[in-house]
Amino acid sequence: MATEQKDLEVSQLENVAVDEKNVGIDLKTGHLPGKNAEEAARILEAAGGGIEYTLADNKRILRKIDLFVCVPMCLTYLLQQLDKSSLSYAAVFDLQTDTHLVGTQYAWLTSVVYCAQLVCQPLSSYALIAFPVKYWVAFNMAGWAIVTACTSAAKNFTGLVICRLLLGMFEATILPSFIFITQMWWTRREQSYRTIAVQVANSGAVFIGPLLSYGVGHINKGILPYQAIFLFLGCLCLAAVPYVLWSLPNSPTDARFLKTDNDRLIAIERLRENNTGIKSNKWQWSHVKEVFMDPKSYMWAGMYFCTACPSGGIGAFGGLITKGFGFDTFTTILMQMPTGAIGILTLLIGIFFTNRFKTRWLVILCIVLPPIAGAVALTQVGRNEPSTLIACYYIIWLYGGIQPLLYTWANSNAGGTTKRVVTFAFMFAFQCTGNIVGPQVYLTMEAPYYHTGLYVDIGCWSVLCLLIISMRFYLAHLNRKQEAKRVAMGLPADLKDMSIMSHEEADAYKQELTAMLAQKGMTEAQLFENAFDDLTDKQNPMFMYIL
């Protein structure tokens, strides 16, 4: 009788999907057929369905994960950014003159990297599911390091464009891989800090790169300065490959540094509240279909394009813009160093407020506004005021905090292995498109002012503001629908998202939740029993969207 009453209540709810196809689980039993379960789910099942652990255990395992997963990720991303930026550093040392570049050829050397990434993205997405992650990362890392070193032998546009094309092919997988790895190892609150840590390493490259280029650029015997830069940075990256291969694991289910079965179980169990799963080796076409039927996929894509277009343009032409203020070559290269510090500071402040107030959209929106002001000012200030111009230029560089925080927001709002991978691939395709377009709107005939490029950047950031606000309201709407699904299943309506709480907050809330569920004859394990069943965010009623 109670079951019939529940079915009647479910049928009366409007706009709530209650069948197994739409919800992903059986509302009567709460279970998903075992054939879709991840390896993590089978390991927990063998251990009795779950494991109890203390706050101290959680922190101990987290320290291990940070040491063996986050540190090699940061190093890899720093070196990748150095190699990618080597063209910008070489340009300050007269690369264009020495290699006889004309017209838009220099701009295309940046754009072609992202053309290659765009084409290779489908392969990368499939590889993340089909192959062990660490071997895929190490292979591509060695590939782009060798290509960067070989770029030193290029003496014309043809040689350079071939090398940059190969560089883009090997680098295409790194950002998607790291987003995927982050989702496998950390809770959604922890993910934001680790994503920012990796992006701080990226900004660190912006600080370290000009300093290294300043030293290497003094080499003028046997090879030209631009050749020395490519050769040095490529060899530096190649030397780090063995360490990354040794340290980085494939997943929590087989990590070598989790030396006991108990540690492995804790590493898996602590991710249950994410409701996103860890990794499944099964490609699910239903997840792919959901990506392209989901309105927020297109909203994320628009945000990524509007972020990447200014980033691609300023990243490629930043040194030339600064040189146009009247500085000499070596002063220009050193003037790029503060941009890295600005990026790091923006990220640290942004992530502090993100987790302090448990909101993403407002923090990102506030960071978008200063670059708009800086770009507008740069188009208006005269060339006889270099100090004011460089101040405006540095204000623009606050944009460095937008993209990393957008990563943490977008990728916390997708569930299911295939859907997570395809969602990011779709967004990354638009990011690549933005990076292709960005350098092209910086017209050589407008040097050193580049007004068209700056106006396009202003427009992109303005549209980004509108998309951020729209996404905030759409995610709130989805959370209301998720709550209705949970009520239909007889679950509490006012559940809180533990995955974005601090460890202490989550530990306290678990005690409160246990008492609440006891009144309904349920346990916490029952509440999250489908967390590793490879459900998408829409299929899993327990999934909560982060605003």
Query: What single-letter amino acid sits at 261?
Result: D
Contact 537, 415 (CB under 8 A): yes
CA end-to-end span of the chain, whole Å? Answer: 39
Q: Can you tell me whether residue 103 is helix, strand or coil?
A: coil
Over residues 186-228, the pLDDT tens digits come to 887 788 888 888 888 877 787 788 778 878 877 777 788 888 8
Tokens of 388: 């004011």
Tokens of 27: 């509302």
Over residues 411-444, the pLDDT tens digits come to 788 877 788 888 888 888 898 889 888 888 988 8
Nearest to 166 by CA among 145, 136, 137: 145
* DSSP structure string for 46-71: HTTS-----HHHHHHHHHHHIIIIIH
CA distance 452 to 491: 55
CA distance 395 to 397: 5
Residues in contact with 473: Cβ distance below 8 Å, sequence separation at least 6, in sequence order:
none
Contact 339, 318 (CB under 8 A): yes
Q: What is the largest CA-CA distance in the chain?
A: 89
Contact 538, 284 (CB under 8 A): no
Contact 547, 475 (CB under 8 A): yes
Query: How does pLDDT run along the chain (547 residues), one tens digit per residue?
Result: 444 443 433 333 333 333 333 444 443 333 343 344 466 666 666 555 567 778 888 889 999 999 999 999 999 989 998 888 888 888 778 888 888 888 888 888 878 888 888 888 778 777 877 788 889 999 999 999 999 999 999 889 999 999 999 998 998 888 888 888 888 888 877 888 888 888 888 777 877 887 788 788 777 777 888 888 889 999 999 999 999 999 999 888 788 888 887 888 888 888 776 665 555 667 788 888 888 999 999 999 999 999 999 988 887 787 778 877 877 777 777 787 788 788 888 988 998 898 888 889 999 999 999 999 999 998 888 888 888 888 899 999 999 889 888 988 887 888 777 888 888 888 888 988 898 888 889 888 888 888 899 999 999 999 999 999 999 999 999 999 988 888 887 777 777 877 777 777 777 877 777 777 777 777 666 666 666 667 788 888 888 898 8
What's the Cα-to-Cα distance from 315 to each of 319, 379, 438, rounded to whole Å? Answer: 8, 18, 9
CA distance 296 to 414: 10
Q: Can you tell me whether residue 30 is helix, strand or coil?
A: coil
Residue 16: which region, alpha, beta or left (left: phi > 0; alpha: psi -120 to 50)? Answer: beta
Tokens 């407008």, residue located: 446
Contact 107, 197 (CB under 8 A): no
Phi and psi torsions of 74, nearest 5°: -65, -45
Considering the four listed CATH numbers 1.10.1270.20, 2.40.50.100, 1.20.1250.20, 3.40.190.10, the one that applies to the domain covering 55-478 is: 1.20.1250.20
In this structure, the number of other CB atoms found within 10 A of the CB of residue 141 comes to: 27
- Exposure class string for 408-437: b at 16+ Cβ within 10 A, else e: bbbbbbbbbbbbbbbbbbbbbbbbbbbbbb
Q: Can you tell me whether residue 307 is helix, strand or coil?
A: helix
Contact 385, 326 (CB under 8 A): no
CA distance 171 to 358: 32
pTM score, whole prediction: 0.73
Tokens 């069948």, residue located: 19
Nearest to 201 by CA among 229, 163, 240: 240
Tokens of 93: 């040392």
* DSSP structure string for 504-527: HHHHHHHHHHHHHHHTTT--HHHH
Q: Which helix (H) or strand (E) holds 125?
A: helix 105-130
Contact 178, 72 (CB under 8 A): no
Average pLDDT, the chain: 81
